[in-house]
Amino acid sequence: MSSTTSTVPTVGESVSDPVPGGGRQRRRRRDGGRGEGGILVFLVALLVVALTLGPVLYAVLGGFRTNAQLAADPAGLPDPWVFDNYRSVLLGSTFWTYLVNSVAVAVITTVVTVVCGLMAAYPLARYQFRWREPLFMVFVVGLLFPATVAIIPLFILVTQDLDIGNTWWGVALPQAAFALPMTIVILRPFLMAIPHEVEEAAMIDGASRLQF
């Protein structure tokens, strides 16, 4: 009568893989899946970049061509390269005025939007009060309000009531007003994610709510 003995692994001993190379095969399959997914994501990102930068590159190269070249071969390269178009624009008197106006309006709009959006998102994120969620939904509903509907009332408000037409503020303030809902929606989760311990530590060090 034959007897069989089995060895029970004790504590601290590692159980060997019953299939030689099985762990390596599973790791290889997992790595291969990530590699294929990475290649697909890379190709999709490359396509998005091409669709985004393609028209910009076409417009830049088109500036080095004459109207006759564009009419003869719209998709061709400049031959010869013509610099008169850019020279006339950069040396013109109106280009730099338009550039300064655009930069000033962009800076004013950004500062007003971020400051006002932060001031509105902070209490909606850090304070507990009864009408907090309904008030936040008011700003969310503001995302559904198209700017084109308010063009005529805004024109009357800016040019007649506020008398800031033909100024930087007359352009920046309406843009900031329509950008505020999106700014509040973005900033509120960010402020809610800040641990309360950080706020408490700042108050212990003497910081106020505004300083925090």
Residue 1 has pLDDT above 50, yes or no: no
What CATH number belongs to 93-204? Answer: 1.10.3720.10
Beta-strand runs (E) in the chain: none
- For residue 114, how many other CB atoms are within 10 A of its CB? 15
**Average confidence (pLDDT) over 161-174:** 88
pLDDT computed for residue 14 by the predictor: 47
pLDDT computed for residue 49 by the predictor: 93
Cβ density class 39-65: b for 16+ within 10 Å, e for less: eeeeeeeeeeeeeeeeeeeeeeeeebb
pTM score, whole prediction = 0.64
What distance in Å separates the CA atoms of residue 33 and residue 49, rounded to the nearest whole number?
24
| Start and end residues for every CATH 1.10.3720.10 domain found in the chain | 93-204
Instruction: Kindly report, residue by residue over 10-30, the tens digit of the pLDDT.
Output: 554 444 455 555 555 555 555
Instruction: Kindly report, residue by residue over 121-166, the tens digit of the pLDDT.
Output: 888 888 888 888 888 888 888 888 888 888 888 888 888 888 888 8
